[in-house]
Structure 1
């Protein structure tokens, strides 16, 4: 039976009948035909997933869902991306040799228009290459300048760290030196007492040993803080470390040698806490010169005798 349908209407065939209330085809209706035309091939083998039916008319019309359109758009986007990704490779890797070959062909064919066009393109590529070369040179110089600046900053920071450590040590020595300098009179008193006290009984010796043990303990504490005594007797006089309060002729030491120490001097680090008070030799005395003259006289007599 011929049925008037819209162009493109579909025929239901050989699939399970659905509820009549939902308006789907029955297995009994095997085909639909176009009015005035031949029957349409059965669509039983086709899948209707992703298809909905429009009830706006008595006849059923398949409408594709938006998923099909979305899938098509995605495929088109991927094709465009492939084209975009291929263009740089073609421009950077193939265009220049291709242009050279085309220029050779144009020169061989004596095609002036093509030659002019190709020469302009090659000139543009050459200018771009020169520009990139200059950019590379500029960046290389900037990198070298940055390296040199980094090295200078690193050296400056190292020098600053050393200066800071030296200043820190100097400040620490100054603070400790001020405290220790105020305690030095006590050291002098211990040394004077040791030189003046003469112990006679066993009890006095015990008391003296007790005081001396305290003195030794105090000296050890000073050494642990970096305090060092100035060397005096037998050493050359140093105005930076010694304070000469006397000069005396000596037959034992040469001129400028320290003969005796009256008060100890101390230094901490490079700071002088106080100079040592000393007596300095003024050179050989008259007695030594006279003794040398007496020794020389017999030698002259012996020489005279031998001469006779």
Structure 2
């Protein structure tokens, strides 16, 4: 009899445990979709944060690369034009040489050996400046006037429409250093006055 009671009790206990386990499993089944949803949200959030961090790192890297490029370019420009003030002071010396050479009669009256020595010094100086990027701006007659490179000292009337705005004469040549104009050429520019001016001139 006692054994029968024990068996009944055991069955009752097992039945209770089974019911409890089924209840737990049932609760877990109910919670699983919610847990999965939370996990998906967490994964999505982590992926978003990862992408944002990656994008931020890429932007920072691009900014750094651009900054380094700008710094290198500024350094090159600084080196390129570091001597601009000095060269600007030397240009009048070149012009003094050329002014002396242009007075052909007076120049040729000097001793030949002396002239050769001065011309040699001039050529050395000019060559050194050209090696630093100095270029002469000495436009030929008939070239179109360009305010980026030329300064008009005066205007000369012309009857030819095609000559309007072209350079008639260079008063003083200019210079540019490494592509940048430091002294524009000073020129005389042709100016077409039109038929009314021509008729007025004829009267």
* Superposition TM-score, scaled by structure 2 size: 0.71
SS in 2 for 1:243: strand
Partner of 1:277, secondary structure, is: strand
The 3-state SS of whatever aligns with 2:143 is: coil
- Which one has a larger percent helix, Structure 1 or Structure 2? 2
8 Å Cα contact 2:137-2:173 kept in structure 1: yes
* Matched residues, number: 177
Mapped pair 1:273 → 2:182: yes
Aligned mate of 2:157, from 245, 249, 253: 249
Matched residue, 2:145? 237
Q: How far apart in 2 are the matches of 1:270 and 1:162? A: 21
The equivalent position to 1:262 in structure 2, one of 167, 171, 182, is: 171
Task: Please list every run of 5 or more consecutive structure 1 residues that lacks an aligned counterpart in the other structure.
Answer: 1-110, 291-308
Q: Deviations over 1:76-134 (max 9, x none)?
A: xxxxxxxxxxxxxxxxxxxxxxxxxxxxxxxxxxx754432112234445444333322
Contact 1:266 1:274 in 2 (8 A): yes
Superposition deviation, residue 172 in structure 1: 3.4
How far the C-alpha of 1:146 sits from its partner, in A, is 1.5
| CA deviation after TM superposition for structure 1 residue 254, in Å | 0.9
Specify every segment of 5 or more residues in structure 2 that has no aligned partner in the other structure, as ranges.
1-17
The 5-angstrom pairing of residues 80-159 of structure 1 reads 113-159=20-66
What is the RMSD of the two structures over their aligned residues, measured on CA atoms?
3.1
Kindly state the Cα deviation for residue 187 of structure 1 after the two structures are TM-superposed.
0.9
Bigger RCO of structures 1 and 2 (CA < 8 A, at least 6 apart): 2
- 1:150-172 Cα deviation digits (max 9, x unpaired): 22222222332233233334433
1:221 aligns to 2:128 (yes or no): yes
Question: Residues 251 and 231 (structure 1 numbering): CA distance in 2 closer, same or farther, change over 3 Å?
Answer: farther
The equivalent position to 2:94 in structure 1, one of 187, 205, 223, is 187
